[in-house]
Amino acid sequence: MPQRKPPKPKPAPKTYDYMLVPKTGKAFCFASKNDNCVVAMLQDAGRSDFHDAELQNATAEINRILDSVARNDTDSSRHLAFVTFQGRLMLVRAHHDQVLTNANDDREVTGALKVKARR
């Protein structure tokens, strides 16, 4: 009898962090190990003890409001996101761009800065 292959593990969901640039007034969400920037949409779920009818209705209403706000944005390069700050969520209009930080590989950063890598 042939051995069954173990199932492949599911890839981890992509997570994002955010960066604010005060000089430009812009917020950027970027791929990161941190999970501090998420799409501004609430997850709907079936009815249960922890997600009852009142929460289902509130979720639907909040999502309708968020959808309306997103459609009214004249800047198509932005999206609505929730960012965490001091343990609370804040709704922001974020640009979803490639951002490099000191956590990135040195080759990526030196390339973007157009500087020579130190030896």
Domain membership flag for residue 41: yes
Q: Give 42-69 pLDDT, tens digit per residue.
A: 999 999 999 999 999 999 999 999 999 9
Give the separation between CA 18 and CA 109, rounded to whole angstroms: 18
The pLDDT of residue 2: 67
Which residue range is the domain that position 103 belongs to? 16-113
Residue 118 lies inside a defined structural domain of this protein = no
Bigger pLDDT: 20 vs 110? 20
CB atoms within 10 A of CB 17: 19
What pairing do the DSSP bridges indicate for beta strands 88-96 and 78-85?
antiparallel
Residue 115's pLDDT is: 74
Within a domain: 88: yes
Q: How many domains does the chain have?
A: 1
Q: Report if residue 3 sits inside a domain.
A: no
Residue 54, both tokens: 């009142």
Assess if residue 32 is contained within a domain.
Answer: yes
Instruction: Tell me the two tokens of residue 20.
Output: 């604010």
> For the chain, how many helices (H) and strands (E)?
2, 5
In a domain, 63, yes or no: yes
- Is residue 2 one of the residues assigned to a domain? no
Q: In this structure, is residue 7 part of a structural domain? A: no
pTM over 0.95: no
Confidence of residue 106 (pLDDT cuts 50, 70, 90): confident
List phi, psi (to 5°) of 29: -105, 135
